[in-house]
Amino acid sequence: MKYTISSLLAIASLTSAHFNLEFPPARDFNERTLDQFPCGGFNTPSTRTPWPISGGQIALKMGHTQSNVEVLIAVGNNPGSAFNTVIRPTFLQTGLGAFCMTGLTLPSSINVTEGINATIQVITNGDPDGGLYNCADITFSSTAAAAGSCTNATGVTVGTATISGNPNGTTTSEAGSSSTTSSTKPGSASGLKAGMGGLAVAVMAAVAIVL
Give the domain ranges of the chain: 5-186
Within 13 Å, how many C-alpha atoms sit on residue 28's CB side? 11
What band does 18 get if pLDDT is binned at 50, 70 and 90?
Answer: confident
* Predicted TM-score (pTM) of this structure: 0.74
Average pLDDT, the chain: 78
Q: Cα dist. 35→26, 30, 58, 101, 211 in Å?
A: 15, 10, 20, 22, 36
What is the chain's alpha carbon radius of gyration, rounded to the nearest angstrom? 18
User: Does the pLDDT at position 97 exceed 80?
Assistant: yes
Within 13 Å, how many C-alpha atoms sit on residue 134's CB side? 26
Span 31-61, pLDDT tens digits? 999 999 999 999 999 999 999 998 999 999 9
Percent of the chain with pLDDT over 90: 59
What band does 169 get if pLDDT is binned at 50, 70 and 90?
Answer: low
Is CATH 2.70.50 correct for 5-186? yes
Q: Cα dist. 38→74, 144, 202 in Å?
A: 11, 26, 32
Lowest mean pLDDT among 44-58, 78-92, 158-172: 158-172
Report the candidate in 67, 95, 96, 74 with the shortest Cα–Cα distance to residue 178. Answer: 74
Report the candidate in 74, 65, 59 with the shortest Cα–Cα distance to residue 26. Answer: 59
Torsion angle, CA of 8/14/18/21, rounded to 10 degrees?
150
